[in-house]
């Protein structure tokens, strides 16, 4: 997405948009969205029950639609929305619809740089992926989800490549699911496929696969690891020369495995959301060392402090030396940094952000209905 250096910080002439009268002016006002630079605010509105318009800074898009939802601003300021006109779905960009229409379109995502728009789409009984109005040449019997490479140029999706007759257990065990990359499916099929992931350079793709009733592993480029496990979670590619790292369930509990071999040996009751430091040298993950308690484990060493409600994915500082995470205990949210929890807790906390040198941590917080930023 747009970085701080790309935003125009010149004050210039600013317009204050009054939102107070929208509820009286329209039959319904839905969810607001704000542009990256904060200069625009948009919302779907209805003049009457069966019609919909997109409202942007006191202006309406020209076209009346049956539905408009999932409004998003791209990093260069364009407003995109999933829209339905004449019972057909497509994407509208600043009020101009894509040329092709579909029986249904959903799961709209933006590329990591915030410029490309990608959706899943259905025509008849076939499913495909559409990027900026251009659909894959191939279509499939079903598509569950998709992921975008870091440079925004490639898309991988979990796809059903063969029909499964109702009640055909043997066909199910042969496998009907695979991964399609830029519209081309892997040759090998599996019982199920989950959580595809791109390598940082966008050249490799890995995914969780189910190979039998109770056997799971990871496949990279369609080739499964030799070892099988009782369960797996989403794979992550390491930086540099690191391989695919994924939590796997073994007889000793949950451990991290890289390219099929365990690299953590301490067995946890649960383990997921593994994250690499920027240089790829360290790994942190959400772990459950004892029943009902959660913490962060760093290079297989859990923090001494645990929490009963939740621990969210870890965040590394830019230099990789420090780690922060959102935690929840007794229905109150807080921040923990390097195993030490902040004294204050809140009804709501947002993702922590490190200063460039890693010495400070800030987070948006809510307290008594008031929003502010807490530092350290």
Look at residue 1 in the predicted model and tell me its pLDDT: 46
Report the C-alpha gap between 99 and 185 in whole angstroms: 26
Look at residue 222 in the predicted model and tell me its pLDDT: 96
Report the C-alpha gap between 53 and 62 in whole angstroms: 8
Tell me the per-residue pLDDT of 81-90, one tens digit each, with 9 for 90 and over.
999 999 999 9
Mean pLDDT across the chain, nearest whole number?
A: 94
Percentage of the chain beyond pLDDT 90 is 85
Q: Is 244 left (phi over 0), alpha (psi -120 to 50) or beta?
A: beta
Look at residue 6 in the predicted model and tell me its pLDDT: 59
pLDDT level of residue 8 (50, 70, 90 thresholds): low
Look at residue 108 in the predicted model and tell me its pLDDT: 97
Q: Judge whether residue 127 has pLDDT over 90.
A: yes
The string of DSSP codes covering 184-246 is EE-S--BSEEEEEEE-TTSS-EEEEEEEETTEEEEEETTEEPS--BS-B---EEPSTT--EEE
**CATH class of this structure's domain 136-267:** mainly beta
Look at residue 140 in the predicted model and tell me its pLDDT: 98
Asked if 365 and 372 touch (Cβ cutoff 8 Å), the reply is yes
Report the C-alpha gap between 71 and 42 in whole angstroms: 8
- Among residues 341, 334, 308, 238, which one has the least CA distance to residue 280? 238
Tell me the per-residue pLDDT of 254-285, one tens digit each, with 9 for 90 and over.
999 999 999 999 999 999 999 999 999 999 99
Q: Judge whether residue 29 has pLDDT over 50.
A: yes
Domain with CATH 2.130.10.150 in the chain: 136-267
**Per mean pLDDT, which range of 140-144, 167-171, 267-271, 335-339 is the poorest?**
167-171
Q: State residue 58 phi and psi, 5-degree precision.
A: 70, 10
């Amino acid at each position: 997405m747009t970085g701080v250096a790309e935003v125009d910080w010149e004050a210039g002439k600013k317009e204050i948009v009054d939102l107070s009268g929208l509820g009286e002016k329209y039959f319904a006002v839905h969810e607001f969205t704000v542009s990256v630079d904060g200069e625009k605010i948009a919302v779907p509105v209805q003049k009457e029950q069966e019609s919909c318009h997109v409202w942007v800074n006191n202006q309406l898009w020209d076209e009346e639609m049956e539905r408009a939802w999932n409004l998003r601003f791209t990093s260069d300021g364009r407003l995109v929305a999933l829209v339905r006109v004449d019972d057909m779905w497509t994407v509208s960009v600043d009020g101009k619809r894509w040329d092709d229409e579909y029986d249904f379109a959903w799961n709209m995502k933006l590329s990591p740089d915030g410029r490309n728009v990608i959706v899943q789409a259905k025509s008849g009984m076939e499913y495909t992926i559409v990027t900026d109005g251009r659909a894959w040449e191939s279509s499939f019997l079903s598509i569950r989800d998709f992921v975008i490479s870091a440079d925004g140029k490639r898309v991988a999706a979990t796809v059903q490549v063969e029909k499964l007759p109702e009640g055909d257990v043997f066909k199910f065990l042969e496998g009907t699911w695979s991964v399609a990359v830029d519209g081309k499916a892997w040759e090998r099929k599996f019982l199920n496929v989950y959580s595809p992931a791109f390598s940082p350079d966008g050249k490799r793709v890995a995914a969780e696969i189910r190979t039998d009733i109770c056997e799971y592993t990871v496949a990279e480029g369609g080739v499964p690891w030799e070892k099988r496990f009782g369960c797996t979670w989403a794979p992550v590619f390491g930086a540099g020369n690191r391989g695919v790292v994924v939590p796997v369930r073994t007889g000793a509990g949950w451990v991290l495995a890289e390219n099929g071999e365990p690299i953590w040996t301490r067995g946890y009751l649960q383990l997921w959301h593994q994250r690499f430091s920027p240089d790829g040298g360290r790994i942190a993950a959400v772990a459950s060392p004892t029943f009902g308690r959660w913490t962060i484990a760093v290079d297989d060493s859990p923090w001494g402090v645990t929490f009963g409600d939740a621990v969210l994915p870890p965040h590394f500082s830019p230099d990789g030396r420090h780690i922060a995470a959102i935690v929840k205990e007794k229905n109150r949210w807080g921040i923990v940094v390097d195993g030490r929890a902040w004294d204050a807790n809140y009804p709501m906390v947002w993702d922590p952000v490190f200063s460039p040198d890693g010495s400070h941590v800030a987070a948006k917080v809510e307290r008594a209905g008031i929003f502010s930023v807490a530092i350290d």
